[in-house]
């Protein structure tokens, strides 16, 4: 009876998403977008094309990332003058309802973001045929930060805005959850209205990189993550979607992720920027806690830059660690790509950059999770 109920429940969840494909993904690329001062700023179909497919030196084109995470750190308004943080600990004033709305508006802008991704996949389909599954999208949920200045307990907790005729007070856990529910509902409503043909909404993402509970993690009084999780995950699951999380190296909650009802958790090594970090310790923690891995790539690996040789060595080490942990072909992976690092490598005329680009893309294209 329990098995039958589980199967029925899973089927209902799949129907809720409007897609009968298997849940989960193989390779998820992090795409930062929504801050108008980023350079480049927009995710056009031309910029996304290198993330959708890969063409090897012999001219063979294949599908690359099968999932894309839409996230942003700051809202800077439509003119760059309204600075609010969408995550805890990034300075400036905390993101309010207007900031959260800006984030959604940006990603749902025609010709940009999700629409551009849908178009880029459509163009690729015409060249190489349909992928095995539609490409998947995960949307980051902004942090409902308690204080307008997150670390100033004397600053306002009634700053986010109004919902259903009520000014929300983020000193109350139920009001923080209400704001998150509003955001998730808005995202789903707009996704369904958009009618994308080649991409599906996989789920949502826990933006905070540490989930702090009493006695575990940094500065519980400023975060009170237990007021949000597992309630957010449960709400997302009730709608038929999944929850992903990418904590930093040994962040608060990394070893308690199942308590928060999360589905896909990929811990950051942070080794690219911190060569002093022990990858043996990292590997042991990943194994012990049933985690997967994020791989980090940015402009520091570009040939000719100070420290590039050692940065490239550390990045190649990531690919080795993934195999040593037996994650390759077995578990979902995520990829931090800086602002435009993949395109920068692809377009570089330097043979060392070209070698890294092809090695990396072959790694991604070859990683298929056997479900």
The answer to whether the beta carbons of residues 40 and 348 sit under 8 Å apart is: no
3-state SS class at 206: strand
142 to 153, 161, 251, 330: CA distances (angstroms): 20, 15, 18, 30
Average pLDDT of the segment spanning 110-122? 98
pLDDT tens digits, 326-359? 999 999 999 999 989 999 999 999 999 999 999 9
The answer to whether 140 touches 134, Cβ cutoff 8 Å, is no
In this prediction, residues 206-226 reach a mean pLDDT of 93
User: For residues 302 and 40, what is the distance between their CA atoms, to the nearest angstrom?
Assistant: 18
Q: 3-state class of 322 per DSSP?
A: helix
User: What's the pLDDT tens digit per position in 162-172?
Assistant: 999 999 999 99
Residue 215 has pLDDT above 50, yes or no: yes
- State the pLDDT at residue 9: 39
The pTM (predicted TM-score) of the whole model is 0.93
- For residues 371 and 188, the model is more confident at 188
pLDDT > 80? residue 5: no
pLDDT higher than threshold 90 for residue 60: yes
Share of the chain above pLDDT 90, in %: 88
**pLDDT tens digit sequence for 226-273:** 999 999 999 999 999 999 999 999 999 999 999 999 999 999 999 999
And the tokens for 325? 């942990």
Q: Which residue has the tokens 């999360």?
A: 262
pLDDT at residue 16, rounded to an integer: 38
Q: Is the pLDDT of residue 216 over 50?
A: yes
Measured between alpha carbons, how far is 35 from 113 in angstroms, rounded to an integer? 12
Please report, rounded to a whole number, the percentage of residues in the chain having pLDDT higher than 70. 94
DSSP annotation of 213 reads: B
| pLDDT value at 14 more than 70 | no
Choice among 13-17, 209-213, 224-228 with the minimum mean pLDDT: 13-17
Q: Is a pLDDT exceeding 90 seen at residue 2?
A: no
Residue 222 DSSP SS3:
helix
Contact 291, 266 (CB under 8 A): yes
Residues 56 and 54: their CA atoms lie apart, in Å, by 6
Q: What is the pLDDT of residue 10?
A: 38
> Which ranges in the chain belong to alpha helices (H)?
2-17, 45-52, 97-107, 113-128, 173-194, 220-223, 231-238, 279-288, 308-324, 341-347, 351-366
In this model, does residue 18 exceed pLDDT 80?
Answer: no
pLDDT of residue 101: 97
| Residue range 44-69: mean pLDDT, rounded | 98
**What integer is the mean pLDDT of 205-222?**
94
Alpha carbons 354 and 288: distance in angstroms, whole number: 36
Q: Tell me what pLDDT residue 266 has.
A: 98
pLDDT digits (tens, 9 = 90+) for 69-105: 999 999 998 888 889 999 998 988 999 999 999 999 9
The two structure tokens encoding residue 101: 């709305």
- 299 secondary structure, DSSP code: G
Q: Does residue 299 surpass a pLDDT of 50? A: yes
Where do the domains of the chain lie?
Answer: 2-240, 268-371
Is the pLDDT at 218 greater than 90? The verdict is: no
- 33 vs 42: CA distance, rounded Å: 7
CB 143 within 8 A of CB 71: no
Contact 208, 180 (CB under 8 A): no
Work out the angle at residue 252's Cα, subtended by the Cα atoms of residues 245 and 75, and round it to the nearest 5 degrees. Answer: 55
pLDDT at residue 15, as a whole number: 35
């Amino acid at each position: 009876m329990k098995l039958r109920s589980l199967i029925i429940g899973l089927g209902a969840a799949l129907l809720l998403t409007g897609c009968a494909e298997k849940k989960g993904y193989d390779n998820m690329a992090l795409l930062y977008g929504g801050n108008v001062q980023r350079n480049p700023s927009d995710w056009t179909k031309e910029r996304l094309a290198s993330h959708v497919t890969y063409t090897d030196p012999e001219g063979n084109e294949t599908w690359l990332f099968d999932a894309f995470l839409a996230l942003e750190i700051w809202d800077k308004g439509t003119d760059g003058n309204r600075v609010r943080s969408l995550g805890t600990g990034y300075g400036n004033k905390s993101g309010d309802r207007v900031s959260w709305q800006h984030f959604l508006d940006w990603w749902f802008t025609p010709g940009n973001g999700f629409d551009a991704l849908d178009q880029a996949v459509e163009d690729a389909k015409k060249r190489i045929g349909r992928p095995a599954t539609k490409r998947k999208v995960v949307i980051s949920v902004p942090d409902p930060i308690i204080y307008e200045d997150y670390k100033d307990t004397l600053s306002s907790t009634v700053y986010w805005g109004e919902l259903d005729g009520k000014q929300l007070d983020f000193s109350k856990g139920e009001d923080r959850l209400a704001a998150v529910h509003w955001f998730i509902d808005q995202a789903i409503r707009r996704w369904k209205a958009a009618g994308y043909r080649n991409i599906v909404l996989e789920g949502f993402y826990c933006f905070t990189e540490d989930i702090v509970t009493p006695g575990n993690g940094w500065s519980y009084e400023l975060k009170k993550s237990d007021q949000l999780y597992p309630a957010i995950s449960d709400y997302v699951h009730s709608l038929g979607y999944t929850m992903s999380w990418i904590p930093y190296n040994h962040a608060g909650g990394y070893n308690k992720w199942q308590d928060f009802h999360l589905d896909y958790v990929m811990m950051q090594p942070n080794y690219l920027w911190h060569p002093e970090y022990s990858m043996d310790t990292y590997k042991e923690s990943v194994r012990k806690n049933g985690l997967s891995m994020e791989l980090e790539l940015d402009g520091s690996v570009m040939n000719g830059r100070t420290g590039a040789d050692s940065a490239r060595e550390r990045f190649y080490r990531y690919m080795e660690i993934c195999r040593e942990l037996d994650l390759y072909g077995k578990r979902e992976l995520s990829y931090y790509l800086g602002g435009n690092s993949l395109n920068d490598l692809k377009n570089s005329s330097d043979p060392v950059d070209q070698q890294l680009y092809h090695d990396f893309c072959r790694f991604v294209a070859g990683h298929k999770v056997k479900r």
